[in-house]
Amino acid sequence: MNTIFPRDNTLSNQDVSYLTGNLNQKSPLERAKIYTELVYRINESQDVEPILFDAIRNENNRQENFWGFIKVAWIPVIGILDSKNQTLIDKTKEILLKNWSSIERKNLHEYVKKEFDLSNIL
C-alpha cells in the first residue's frame, strides 16, 4: 500500500486482536484509523482480509462520516485499491456491487476520481 492514508503511530505496534477488539465501540474517526492500520497489514495476516471486507459491508460504516462527507467504509476500499492487489480489488468490487447502492458506489467513485489516481481501478 502506498501512503494515501498515513498510519497512526499509536496503533502500529498493536496486534490485530487488540485493534479489532473494540471496533464497535469506537468513534467513526477511531474506526477509520484502525481500518487504515489493518489495510497496511493485509498481506501480513490472514485475519485482516475478512475484517476489512466486513467493514466495507457494514451498514453503519457505509453511512457514518468520519471526516466531512467521507464514509468510514471508504477507508478500507481506498486502501485496497491503493494496494494494487488485483485479487483483493476484485473481491472488493464484488462486495460493492452486491452490498452498496448505486448512489453509494457513485459517491465513492467521484471522490476517488477527484482525490486519487485510482478511479480507473474501481
Which amino acid appears at position 5 of this protein? F
Does residue 65 contact residue 28 with C-beta atoms inside 8 Å?
Answer: yes
pLDDT digits (tens, 9 = 90+) for 48-58: 999 999 999 99
| pLDDT of 23 higher than 90 | no
Distance CA 59, CA 37 (A): 21
pTM score of the predicted model:
0.89
pLDDT digits (tens, 9 = 90+) for 40-97: 998 888 889 999 999 999 999 999 998 889 999 999 999 999 888 899 999 999 999 9
* pLDDT score at 114: 82
Distance CA 110, CA 122 (A): 10
